[in-house]
Amino acid sequence: MSKLMISLVMAGMVGINGTAEPASPSVAPAATPIGSIQLPPLPYPENALEPMISAGTVGLHYGKHHRTYVDNLNKLIANSELTSVPLEEIIRVTTNSKDKEGVSIFNNAAQIWNHTFYWNSMKPKGGGKPTGAMLTAIEKSFGDYEKFRQAFLDAAMAQFGSGWVWLMADKDGLKVVKTSNADTPVAHNQKALLVCDVWEHAYYLDYQNRRKDYVAAFLDHLVNWDFATAQLGK
Ligand code: FE
């Protein structure tokens, strides 16, 4: 039995004979369908985020980068037991993999999840100061909205190379967290509320090396606070 297979059996995702078991609520997030991994549809047209993020950037980012992670993952897991488990579980069982194949599966699966979360973290005419429960939670954890905004910008600028900046929630409140490369809160059982992609492919066509201007535009004009608030309630 392969190490991956042992992990899946231990996670309760497959039976000892390798067949998929009925999903139990404790280990099976409902977010993705069982089966081969699909590229989720964009929640808006490619030009909907203009002028902050161009249709050209979204087309390349979603249509090439995001799609390539999906294609790569499907090739990597073809004919394996991983075709019968949800994306989130593929990420969990390959977290901390040491072998080349496990690392590749993790990187592609995590990037699919992170990008889907990123597209949903934005909407046309979004951004700015939230209201209601989200504003209350931000003020409780950061003092005020401006301090949160600055903390998010600082994290984006402090992330060396490729990565992601997240607003997350835990038992102590909200926090801004940066992750490198494909790392994802799914791997660490953390609750994400929103994310900004700070890989250069997310902004280079529109902002060249001005990452701060891109992240400021994300915060001030694009954040989907309704989506973030919905995560808070989960
Ligand atoms: Fe990206």
Query: How close is the Cα of 158 to the center of ligand 1, in Å?
Result: 18
Ligand 1: distance of its center to the CA of 24 in Å?
32
Cα 38 to ligand 1 centre (Å) = 17
Query: What is the value of pTM for the model shown?
Result: 0.87
Peptide bond into 45 cis (omega under 30): no
For residue range 76-134, list pLDDT tens digits in order.
999 899 998 999 999 999 999 999 999 999 999 999 999 999 999 999 999 999 999 99
Strand ranges for the chain from DSSP E: 163-170, 173-180, 191-197
Give the architecture (CATH level 2) of 132-232: 3-Layer(bab) Sandwich (3.55)
For residue 65, what is the DSSP state? I
Is the pLDDT assigned to residue 71 strictly greater than 50? yes
Query: Quick one: how far is CA 160 from the chain centroid?
Result: 18
pLDDT tens digits, one per residue of 4-16: 554 544 444 443 3
Instruction: State how far the alpha carbon of 123 is from the alpha carbons of 50, 162, 200, 214, 230, in Å.
Output: 11, 23, 20, 15, 14
CA of 149 to the centre of ligand 1 (A): 21
Same fold, 3-26+54-120 and 132-232: no
23-56 residue pLDDT tens: 333 343 444 444 489 999 999 999 999 999 999 9
Distance 40 CA to ligand 1 centre (A): 14
CA of 82 from ligand 1 middle (Å) equals: 24
How many whole angstroms from 193 Cα to the centroid of ligand 1?
17
Task: For residue 109, count other CB atoms closer than 10 A to its CB.
Answer: 31
Q: Which amino acid is at 163?
A: G
3-26+54-120 CATH choice from 1.10.287.990, 1.10.287.610, 3.40.50.1820, 3.40.630.40: 1.10.287.990
Q: What pLDDT does 36 receive? A: 85
DSSP type of residue 41: P
Assign residue 4 a region: left if phi > 0, alpha if psi is -120 to 50, beta otherwise? alpha
Residue 81 Cα to ligand 1 middle (Å)? 27
Euclidean distance between CA atoms 40 and 66, whole angstroms: 10
Report the C-alpha gap between 31 and 213 in whole angstroms: 32
The domain ranges of the chain are 3-26+54-120, 132-232
